[in-house]
Structure 1
Amino acid sequence: MNKEATDFLVELLQTPSPSGMEMEIQKKWMSYVQGFAHEVKTDMAGNVLGILNPNAPFKVLLAGHSDEIAFVVNRIDEKGFIYFDKVGGISQKLAVGMNVTVLGNEKTITGVIGANAEHHGGIKDGFAIEDLFVDCGAVNREEIEKYIQIGDLIVYKREPEWLMNNRLSGRGLDNRTGAFIVAEVLRQLSDRKLSVCVIAASTVNEETNMGGAYFAGAGVQPSMAIACDVTFATDYPSVNRNKYGDIRLDGGPVLAKGAPINIKINRLLEKTAKQLDMNLQYELTPRSTGTDADKIRYTGQGVPVALVSLPLR
């Protein structure tokens, strides 16, 4: 990646975008693609679309969602401690002791997720999310309610970091990387003479209801679509590869195979990968993919879809 693209990816990862609150990241995505797209527009759902060759009758939709999993405030007690619930498939098991940012309407507040100290009994192995709380340092409910209210969203306070071998660690790689990839595909196609219309969509709400994907597909009515998301790598200790497959960080893009996936699109992707001398990996999605591809597929008279995923630990 060039420096401009790398800086853009890091900027996306630094921007809180919990499902239902994607406005700020969408502004940044729009600003980036406006530099090379022939047309940029939004829809009523909050998606942003960058388009090349908009008048071509054959339309290829590339979709990557911009939202991330998070927590949501559901109660503030009389001492100012914040209790919370889940937004998307986030695990409370990783939350203990994590610094968080509470995205209040009036002010953004820093806090830490707490639980009983070890010398006060600790937390049980099977603890639930309601056993945890956010401590922002407030002395009572009245103080914290000046800035925070029920329904405000909470994300981990986590900066992207580069690890060894050019590997990236950060919050919300699922799926700001997908939104980044579809923007980069658009950028690299922008100086070519295209015979088809290419539409890159940064979609919303995938982590909670996939509504963004549905409305993107319904609005565009594409001839075909490729969802770009992440999938679980299995190249770390203790994972059961017999059950979950063999997917490696350096093994190449992952193509989904299963009933929702259009075989012809996969064959075209495989042919292209061979021409580029690019390794591919595979995952099975026999019933559904759990990604934007599922909702796009059901729009209009039906859309042929494929799923290309980035391995993620």
Structure 2
Amino acid sequence: MVRELDFDFHLLRELTEESGVPGYEGRIRDLVRREFADHTDEVRTDAMGNVVGTVEGDSDYSVAVAAHMDEIGFMVKHVTDDGFLKVDALGGWDARVLRAQRVRVHAENGDLTGVIGSLPPHTLSDEERESAEEVEDVVIDVGRDAEAVEELVSVGDLVTMEQTTVQMGDAVTGKALDDRVCLFAMLEAAKQVVDPDVTVHFCATVQEEVGLRGAEALGVDIDPDLAVALDVTVASDVPGVDDDKQVTRLGDGTAIKLKDSSVITNPKVHRRIRDVAEEHDIDHQLEVLPAGGTDTAGFQNSNGAKPVGAISIPTRYLHTVTETANVDDVAATIDLLSAFLESETGENDYTL
């Protein structure tokens, strides 16, 4: 029996199954604009492809909320004489998770199914079995002869992983939950924040996976008084991982970020987020992430010093096609973001 959810799983599935690598987020951008159209006062897109849906408040004080649209993927860099594709990574991949995966090649005249090749283990030498795999060694087979591939695929075409998003017990699993599950949470919050005291800019950002580029640009263009970013965070609560290295745990609630390798969040901001969670009895945990960065850092000092905070969704198996999040943690994230925005008056002093 499939568990009944407190949120729109069909929208989450649509967002996560859609394709959009850094710099080429067009398909997911169309979905975001569609969702913003009925729930924000203004929708605009900039030259980088960031989408901003603004809900006007009663004061000039503004809050930026950000979640990134892009997913990690590849760009075709070479078509071999035999019709195989060599690719360049867009974002951080672990080569170990790529073997024998199915992909989508986004060619000019339509998507093609492909597979990342893997030699049968019984044909490998001892040296080949022990050699470290590298992303640059990835070869994609699209099941056609060289002449057909040459006609269909060009250098610069994009490649994404092919995977469906499904419910799995108390969890959802699929590709691109990083960061589409947080993009989903932001879109759901935008539907709930109807008449805020402050102006809220809901920002669907681009190119986060290659250096927080979209958020840095928006930090200048929007120049908010306060910024809160949403992203997934590590949940290594699985066998073989020590407690102190798990960072967060599935089912323990949404995560309030204290730091990652790109940002130390403003103590007054994360304290107020915690106060809101406690006031509304929203399950939450604290996040101290030793490595990795988020759009939070993109807003912190791109146009002068800004107070920033971050809310994260604990997720297992990051940067794979089986990223997994707990449905109650997703719901808690939506509730906490909505409650925080609805209670922001613009009169809180976040200076240190």
Give the length in aligned residue pairs. Answer: 306
CA distance in 2, matches of 1:132, 1:202: 30
Instruction: State the distance in 2 between where 1:293 and 1:215 align.
Output: 13
CA contact (8 A) 2:17 2:176 kept: no
1:146-177: CA deviation from partner (whole Å, max 9, x where unpaired): 12111221111101111112x11111000011
Deviation at 1:120, TM superposition (A): 2.5
CA distance in 1, matches of 2:179, 2:53: 18
Scaled by the length of structure 1, the TM-score of the pair is 0.92
Aligned to 1:196: 198
Q: Tell me if structure 2 keeps the 8 A contact 1:206–1:212.
A: yes
Matched residue SS, 1:37: coil
% identical equivalent positions = 29
Of residues 213, 222, 225, the one that matches 2:224 is: 222
The 5-angstrom pairing of residues 16-165 of structure 1 reads: 16-53=19-56, 56-121=59-124, 123-125=128-130, 126-140=132-146, 142-165=147-170
* 1:45–1:54 CA distance, 2 compared to 1 (3 A): farther
Partners of 1:28 and 1:251 in 2: how far apart?
30
Measure, in 2, the Cα distance between the counterparts of 1:130 and 1:58. 47
TM-fit CA distance, 1:241: 2.3
* Kept after mapping to 2: 8 A contact 1:39/1:54: no
Q: Which residue of 2 aligns with 1:257?
A: 258
Distance 1:276 1:298, change over 3 A: same
**5+ residue gaps, structure 1:** none
Q: Is the 8 A contact 2:13 2:166 kept in 1?
A: no
Distance verdict in 2 for CA 1:152–1:124, change over 3 Å: farther
**Deviation for aligned residue 1:81:** 0.9
Q: Which residue of 1 aligns with 2:283?
A: 279
Q: C-alpha separation between the residues in 1 aligned to 2:167 and 2:115?
A: 24
Number of the residue aligned with 2:242: 240
Could you tell me how far apart the structure 2 residues matched to 1:229 and 1:109 are?
30
| Matched residue SS, 2:210 | coil
Distance (Å, rounded) in 2 between the aligned partners of 1:43 and 1:85: 26
Structure 1 residues 45, 131: CA separation in 2 closer, same or farther (over 3 Å shift)?
A: closer
**Which residues of structure 2 form unaligned runs of 5+?**
317-352
CA RMSD in angstroms, aligned pairs only: 1.8
Superposed displacement of residue 100, structure 1: 0.6
Q: Is the 8 A contact 1:115 1:131 kept in 2?
A: no
Partner of 1:183: 187
Helix, strand or coil at the partner of 1:124: helix
1:165-180 to 2 correspondences below 5 Å? 165=170, 167-180=171-184
Aligned equivalents of 1:217 and 1:246: distance in 2? 28
- Residues 132 and 36 (structure 1), Cα distance of their counterparts in 2 relative to 1, 3 Å cut: closer
Cα distance in structure 1, aligned partners of 2:63 and 2:235: 28
